[in-house]
Structure 1
C-alpha cells in the first residue's frame, strides 16, 4: 500500500497553504512558527517535493498548489463524512414495531401514516398485521392494537376506540335491489365474516336485536377475512355487517353506503397494548401518544354520524327494564 503522509502534517500544510503564512497557520492550529516550519519541511522530505518558496515570506510552488487543492478537497470530504456518520450514530433512525389486526391496519391505520411521517420523520414504523396476539417486548413488538375486553395479562392496556356495527353495501347494489326495510335482509345476499369474535359482531346478533327470525336458508357468502368482506361489498356482491372503524372512510368516499338507521354497539373495543419497558423508550412513547390522539380525533369526528343511528342493544336494554 502506498505510504501517505500523516493527517496532522496534511492539516498543517492545508492551513499554511491557505494562509500563505507559517506564523498565522501556527496561531490557527495552536502551534509555534518553528513547529509549523518543521512539519512542512518533514512533509517535503517525505514527498521529495518543494511545496513552498521561501523568499520574502512563503508561497506555494506549482507542486504545492496542486497538492493543496487535493488535500483541501479530501479534508472537506472527510469532515463531511465524519459529521454525517456521527450524526447518524448519535441520533439513529428509530424503529417502532406496531402489531395490528389486518383489516384495522388497512382501513384505519394506513390512511393516517402519512401524517405521522410528516410530524416525526426520524421514526420508522414497522406494521405487523396478524390475528395472533403479538409478543410485546423481548424482541417482539413495541405496541399492539387489539380488539377485546382489555384483559390481556402482563401488559398495560389503554382504551383506544369503541366499536359499532351496522349494515353497508355499495351504491350500485342499493340502486339495483332497493332494500327498504330491515326485514328485506332475510331475502338479500349477505356477506359473512366467518371468524368474528365479540358481542354484536355478527348478523345473528343483529337479527336477534331486531326481533327477526332468520332461517338457515339465508342467502350468504362467507369469508374468513374482513378485507374480503369489504371488497365483496364494494363490488356489489351483497350487504356486509361491518365495524364502523373499517367502513367510515369508505362511506365518506362514496364506495359504501349505510343501510337503515339501526346498528349494534360491540361489547368489545380496541385497546392499545404496551409494556413498561417499551414505554421507557421515547420513540415508542411518541408513537403511543400519536395513536391515542388519532383515536380521540376519530371518535370526535364520528360522534355526529353515530348519534343518528338507533342502537338496538340500548333500545332492548331500556325495554327489558321498563
Structure 2
C-alpha cells in the first residue's frame, strides 16, 4: 500500500470519545488527558482533512454532518482494531494455549461439562473459547481448532468426526398427559417448535413416521437449541432436538422423549483444524480427547 496521511490512533480515540460524549471535557476525563490535549488532537484531524468536525452550540460541542459520518466510520474501525488486537494476543500463549471456535449450544450443553477432565490431564493448558456459527476462513483467523456441524468440507483443513445428530421429539413434564398424546399422529395438531438452522427437521420426522407433512412447518422458530429446549420445558410446544444436548433435562425430568423414533440427519459434528496445526501437541491431545468422549460411529475422517 502507498503511504497516505492518516490520523494517529490517539487522535481518532480522542475524536471518538468527544463525539460520543458531546463534550471535550468528558472525553478528557475518560482518556485521562487534559481538555486542551483533546482539542489539539481533534484540530489535527480537521487540519489534515480540511473538514470541520464539531460546532459549538450553547456551551456544548455538536458534530457537523461530516463529523457524524466520520464518527460512524471511526467507531467501527476502532472496534475492529480492538478485536484484531485481542485475537492476535491469543497467540501469546504459544503451545500452551488452544484457541477454539465453538457452536454455542454444543459448547454450553455438551463440551463445558466435560472440559474439567481435559484440563486435569493438561494442567498447563489454557483454552480460549469463541463462538462461530457459520463457516469462515480458518487461515485468516487465529483459531487452532473448530467445532463444526455440517459436511466434512473445509478447504485446507482436516475434519475429524465427533458424532452424528440424533434428534428426538421432546416435551415438558406433564405435556403428554395434558394433551392426550398417544401416537405420533397426535403431534400434528400441536404447536411444533422449530430450530431455524434445521428447517426441514419436523417434516423429515413426520415423513419417516409415515405421516402427512402438511402441518409439519407450522410453529415458532428459535435460533438456538438451548432456547428451544427451554421453550419445550416451559410447555410451549413439542421440540425436535439432538438427544445429547438435552441430557440434563431428560435426567432431571424437565423434558421427556415422547416417542422413541429418532431422526438421524445427514450431517454430523466434526473437530476441524488446519493441516499445519496437526503438529501441535495440544491440538493433537484435544482432538484425541474430544473424539474419545464423543465416540464417533458411522462417519469417517476426511
* TM-score, length basis structure 1: 0.58
Structure 1 equivalent of residue 222 of structure 2: 223
Q: Deviations over 1:92-119 (max 9, x none)?
A: 7821011121111121111111222222
Determine if the alignment matches structure 1 residue 182 to structure 2 residue 181: no
Are the counterparts in 2 of residues 191 and 229 from structure 1 also a CA contact under 8 Å?
Answer: yes
Q: Deviations over 1:219-246 (max 9, x none)?
A: 5222222221111012121110111221
Q: Deviations over 1:234-287 (max 9, x none)?
A: 212111011122123431232211111212211111111112222212122221
State the 4+ residue runs in structure 1 displaced beyond 6 angstroms. Answer: none
Cα distance in structure 1, aligned partners of 2:142 and 2:95: 18
Deviation at 1:216, TM superposition (A): 4.9
1:1-322 mapped onto 2 (5 Å cutoff): 94-137=96-139, 139-196=141-198, 202-216=201-215, 220-296=219-295
Are the counterparts in 2 of residues 191 and 221 from structure 1 also a CA contact under 8 Å?
Answer: yes
Are the counterparts in 2 of residues 193 and 226 from structure 1 also a CA contact under 8 Å?
Answer: yes
Quickly say closer, same or farther: Cα 1:290–1:135, change in 2 above 3 A. farther
Cα distance in structure 2, aligned partners of 1:218 and 1:151: 29
**What is the SS of the residue equivalent to 1:262?**
coil
Cα distance in structure 1, aligned partners of 2:265 and 2:120: 34
Quickly say closer, same or farther: Cα 1:157–1:189, change in 2 above 3 A. same
Cα distance in structure 2, aligned partners of 1:216 and 1:190: 9
Q: Which has the higher contact order (CA 8 A, sep 6+)?
A: 2
**What is the SS of the residue equivalent to 2:114?**
helix
Structure 2 equivalent of residue 83 of structure 1: none
Cα distance in structure 2, aligned partners of 1:106 and 1:174: 28
- The number of residues matched between the two structures is 205
Deviation at 1:127, TM superposition (A): 1.5
Cα distance in structure 2, aligned partners of 1:96 and 1:205: 38
Deviation at 1:183, TM superposition (A): 0.7
**What is the SS of the residue equivalent to 1:241?**
strand
Which protein is bigger by CA-based radius of gyration?
1
Q: Deviations over 1:54-89 (max 9, x none)?
A: xxxxxxxxxxxxxxxxxxxxxxxxxxxxxxxxxxxx
| Deviates most, 158-167 or 247-256 | 247-256
**What is the SS of the residue equivalent to 1:191?**
strand
Q: Which runs of 5+ in 1 are unaligned?
A: 1-90, 300-322
Cα distance in structure 1, aligned partners of 2:146 and 2:230: 25
Deviation at 1:181, TM superposition (A): 0.7
Cα distance in structure 2, aligned partners of 1:219 and 1:136: 37
**What is the SS of the residue equivalent to 1:110?**
helix
**What is the SS of the residue equivalent to 1:220?**
coil
Cα distance in structure 1, aligned partners of 2:124 and 2:102: 22
Cα distance in structure 1, aligned partners of 2:268 and 2:227: 22
* TM-score, length basis structure 2: 0.62
The alignment yields a C-alpha RMSD, in angstroms, of 2.4
Deviation at 1:195, TM superposition (A): 2.3
**What is the SS of the residue equivalent to 2:135?**
coil
Are the counterparts in 1 of residues 95 and 282 from structure 2 also a CA contact under 8 Å?
Answer: no
Cα distance in structure 1, aligned partners of 2:137 and 2:280: 17
Are the counterparts in 1 of residues 168 and 262 from structure 2 also a CA contact under 8 Å?
Answer: yes
